[in-house]
Chain A
Amino acid sequence: MSAEQQDKNAVRVKGMGDGLCVMLDPDRPPDVLEEELTRVFTPLRHLAVNARVMLDFGDGEGGDALVGKLGDFLRDSFGVGEVARIARRGKNGPDERLRQRDMDQSWHHYRSDVLMLTGRVRSGQKVTARRHLLILGDVNPGAEVAAGGDIIIMGSLAGTAAAGQTDDLESIVLALDFRPTQVQIGPVMAAGLPASPRPFPEYAHVEEGGIVVEDYIRANPFGRLPWPEVR
C-alpha cells in the first residue's frame, strides 16, 4: 500500500442518523489527520455546519487527547456542532465525566438495529434479521432463525439458530429454554447438544474455535462490562 493510500484510509466518514461518524486512525500524526479531515469535510459544505460529529478511533489507544484538538479544528474550519468520541469496549480513558458523556452520546446516536418479533416460529418457517434478532415466543423444531448478530429467544429454542452470519464470532444465541436442533455462530456449527433436565436460560458463544453452551445467569457474560455499551 502506498503512503498516500494509507493517509486516505486514516479518515473515513459515514452518515449516522442525524450526525456524522468519522473513523480515524489515532496512530497517524495529528497534522495528517487534520489534512484528511479537510479532504472529507470540504465537499460536505453546509451539511457539516452544526452537525454532530462522533469520532471513532476504533480499538486504537491514545485517541482521547486527540478529541479536543480535532474537535477545535473541525469547529473552527467547518462550523460543526458538538464533537465527541464514540465509546468503545474497555478502551475508554479514566476521566469519569468524559466517559459519562460518551455513554450518553452513544445512546443518542445509535439507531435500533434489532428485529423484535412476538409469536411462534413454526416448522418450515424461516426468520432472518439483518442484525440482532429478538423473539418473544418459541422457535419450534424444524424452524430456522438467522441473524447477522445476536439471537435472543424469550421462550424455547427447539429449531435451528444461526447467529453472526456470516462471519461474526462474537455473536451469541440465548434462549430461556435452550434445546436447539443445531446452533451456528459465524461459520462454527454445533449439533446434538445434550438436553438439560429442565428449562433454564442458556447461551451459546464461540470459545477457541468451538461452540460453548453455558448457564446464562451463572456466566453473566455481559455483567462484567463496567457500563452499558451499544451492541
Chain B
Amino acid sequence: MEGKIIVVTSGKGGVGKTTATASIGAGLAMEGKRVAVVDMDIGLRNLDVVMGLENRIVFNVVDAVKGKCKLAQAAIKDRRINNLFLIPASQSDNKNVLIPEDMVRFGETLKAEYDYILMDCPAGIERGFENSVAAADEALVVCMPEVSSVRDADRVIGLLYARSITPKLIVNRIVPEMVERGDMLSHEDIVDVLSVDLIGLVPMDDNVIVSTNTGNPLVLQKESKAGAAFLRIAMRVNGRTDLPIEVPRAQGKFWKRMGTKFGLGK
C-alpha cells in the first residue's frame, strides 16, 4: 500500500482543524478507505476527545515515532466507523521531542499501512507545524471568515508552497445570514486573497458542539449540515473532483450549487 499523507492546518487555533480532521477522516473511512488520523498537537491533545476515544489511549504518537511501541499498538480503532484509526498525541511531552526527520521516517511506516493519513496540525508555525508537514503529500488549509484567520491562512499557504505542497482551502464556520448582510467575509472574498483551490465550505452548526461533547461522529448525524459538508470534502479528497461545491445559504432550506469556477482537480 502506498498511502497519502494530508496535513490539516491553519496557522490560527480554534478554526476547526481538529473537527475537520476527525470528520474528513471518518468520511474517507466511510468511502471504504483505510484511514489514520494523527494528533500532532503534542501536549494539547484533543482529537481523542472529539472522537470519543480518550479512555482507550495506551500508547501515543511519540511512543510510535520513537519506537517505544509498534504502530499497531498506538493506533486506536474507532468504535463506530470501520477502517478508521486514531493515533493520539502524548499529553505530557514537549512538542520539541519530535523532529521533522523523525516524521519523514514515520510517514513511510504510516503510508505502508493506510490509504489516507490525516495529520491534525497544532496552531502556530513552529516545530509542531514543521513536524506535521514534514512528511505531507498534500495539505488542507482551514480558515474562518475572519480577517485575522485569513491572514494566518495566507502565511501558512506561503510556507506550504515553499515546501512544494499545493494546499486546498476549507472555509469553516460560515454564517450565511451574516455573509448576506455583509457582516462576514464571503468565500469569494477569501479566495480572492488566498488564490488557492477551494475544496469545501462548511457552515456554522451547533451539531459540531453536540458531537464533540458526545463523541458521536459529526458525519453520522443525518441532520448536520457541517457533517454533510465534511463528507463531501472527504469525497473530493478521495478523487470525486466533479462534485460541485455547495454554498451554505440562509433560510436554512437549500444549498446553492456553485459552478465549476472554483473547481478542483487540476
Q: How many pairs of residues, A versus B, come closer than 8 Å at their CB atoms? A: 28
- A141:B151 contact, CB within 8 angstroms: yes
Query: CB-CB < 8 A to B152: which residues of A?
Result: 123
- B195:A123 contact, CB within 8 angstroms: no
CB of B263 within 8 Å of the partner chain: no
Query: CB-CB < 8 A to B147: which residues of A?
Result: 141
Rounded to whole angstroms, the CA-CA distance of A109 and B196 in the bound complex is 42
Query: CB-CB < 8 A to A124: which residues of B?
Result: 154-155, 158-159
**SS of A interface (majority):** loop
Query: CB-CB < 8 A to A122: which residues of B?
Result: 154-155, 157-158
Given that A120-B195, A140-B193, A141-B193 are known contacts, is A125 also in contact with B151, CB under 8 Å in the complex? no
CB of A142 within 8 Å of the partner chain: yes
Rounded to whole angstroms, the CA-CA distance of A33 and B154 in the bound complex is 58
Q: Which B residues are closer than 8 A to A by beta carbons?
A: 147, 150-152, 154-155, 157-159, 193, 195
Q: Which A residues are closer than 8 A to B by beta carbons?
A: 120, 122-125, 138, 140-142, 158
A122-B155, A122-B157, A124-B159 known; 11 new pairs, CB 8 Å cut-off, are A120-B195, A122-B154, A123-B152, A123-B155, A123-B158, A125-B158, A140-B154, A141-B147, A141-B154, A142-B154, A142-B155
What are 25 sample pairs from A and B whose C-beta atoms fall under 8 A apart?
A120-B195, A122-B155, A122-B158, A123-B151, A123-B152, A123-B154, A123-B155, A123-B158, A124-B154, A124-B155, A124-B158, A124-B159, A138-B193, A138-B195, A140-B154, A140-B193, A141-B147, A141-B150, A141-B151, A141-B154, A141-B193, A142-B151, A142-B154, A142-B155, A158-B193
Q: What 4 pairs between A and B have smallest CB-CB spacing?
A: A122-B158, A123-B154, A124-B155, A123-B155
